[in-house]
Structure 1
Amino acid sequence: MVRRAMLGLSAAAIWIGSAAAQDAAPTYQADPAVYKVIFEDQNFRVIVATWKKGATDKPHSHPLPFVVYALDDCTVRVHNPDGTTRELKNQAGVATAGPITSSHTAENLGETDCRALLVERK
């Protein structure tokens, strides 16, 4: 019985360790060329994101609930670690909620820069 419990704990530790290894740094730490913190207090963090024409940002996470406010009309392709993708069509002046995400990248598919504000609740 002790051996079975130890095997179960070992398997759980390996699974937790591999899951943590897949987590990327938050946006503003992972790719400061794209994500810049413009305001932060004990409750909120506001980040401006600028994806240059045709650029893909570095792998990053969204560890907190957040809202995205599009500053430009543009299309971004999100690349997930499992190889799946999805396209997000941003409309200037529209806000949407974003999911907590352990890792992904975002690619600007447009012919111009794509900008957005991200507001994270801490």
Structure 2
Amino acid sequence: MDNITEMLKGVLEGCVLEIISRGETYGYEITQQLRELGFTDVVEGTVYTITMRLEKNNLVNITKKASTKGPPRKFYTLNAAGQEHLQTFWRKWEFVSSKITELKNKEEGEI
């Protein structure tokens, strides 16, 4: 889908949290998983900014591991606060998503 970056800004953090919740991962892997899902406009810099914010807000645990290419990589796992934040994200997403669907499906004049 063309140029959905602006719309995605509000939900990418939740998507990144969901990816991290599924197992230890690092920035490039997160970017690749998002691209495989069809979010082809997402760049590593965007994911880096999100992971830094997650780190600053103490939502993830970090382990540094040696890399065959360059400096050590930061691997992320979700901690308890991150799990709670992710659950809140999904509750909000379900609410917004259901209201958008409701709006879309209403006949003209019912709003």
- Same fold at TM > 0.5: no
More strand as a share of residues:
1
More helix as a share of residues:
2
Normalised TM-score (structure 2): 0.26
Q: Which of structures 1 and 2 has the bigger CA Rg?
A: 1
